[in-house]
A = this chain, B = another copy of it.
Amino acid sequence: MTLRKLRAARRNSAVGADDALQSAGSRDERKQRTRRALLDAALELMQGERSFSSVSLREVTRSAGVVPAAFYRHFTGMEELGLALVDDSFKTLRRSMREARAAALPATHLIRRSVETFLGYAQTHRRHFQFIAKERFGGSSVIRFAVRKEVHLFTSELSTDLARFPLAGKISTEDLQMIAGLVVQTVLMATEVFLDMPQNDPEDAAQLYQQTEKQLRLIFIGAQGWRSKGAGRG
């Protein structure tokens, strides 16, 4: 190879590398866009009557405007796509709830704020939570157990927070989990009913808010009176 050719080759490869970097950048963006389009298409197809199990890969790719081969560059199959939806639904929710609880407030305000945060989050992530509501006890056991694992994680974080309350001294770790479980299920249930309401019915929504808040207050009154066997400092 002559020096000139070598230089030209280097120049070309350098240019090629730049190009590669640049197109890698946009390829990544494109890839993310396609992924997003596939996830959105699945959520869209599940609007109304349909369950996740009834949506086919081919429908998702058709609706996202990509060929089936493109699907497999993102997910091994519909199940993996479903798990990505579960992950998306809970990812930022846990952070939002931690922030709501982190603010030092009287307990009743804390409850109200938590309910508002949760229902507000569910409203802005409406389609994700409709998916969760449908699949929590729905057909696919893989998705169902993934949802349950997220709910469990959520419950554990709440029970860790509850452990800091003064009343927690008389309550065993196991019972704190039991109480946190009751709180989380109550809020999830309210969310599911909430998402099922006609969107232009603020009165029903207000009533649900109030009922949920009362139920949580009742749980906390119960927790104050709770004595675990063998637990307690006094």
Contacts and interface: CB of A to CB of B under 8 A. Distances in A.
A179 interface: yes
A48 interface: yes
Given A139-B50, A139-B51, A218 B215 contact: no
Interface stretch (A83-91, A111-119, A222-230): A222-230
In the complex, which range does the number of interface residues on chain A fall in? 35 or more
Contacts of A223: 218, 222
Given A137-B134, A137-B137, A178 B215 contact: yes
Interface of A is mostly: helix
Closest A-B pairs by Cβ, 8 of them: A222-B222, A218-B222, A51-B51, A49-B139, A54-B54, A221-B225, A221-B222, A133-B137
Contacts of A178: 211, 214-215, 218
A169 interface: no
A196 interface: yes
Interface in A26-81: 48-51, 53-54
A97 interface: no
Given A182-B218, A218-B219, 9 more contacts: A49-B139, A50-B53, A51-B54, A53-B54, A134-B139, A182-B215, A189-B189, A221-B225, A225-B225
A170 to B, nearest CB: 12
A72 B54 CA distance: 25
Contact of A219 (B51, B144, B214, B222): B222
A150 interface: no
A176 to B, nearest CB: 11
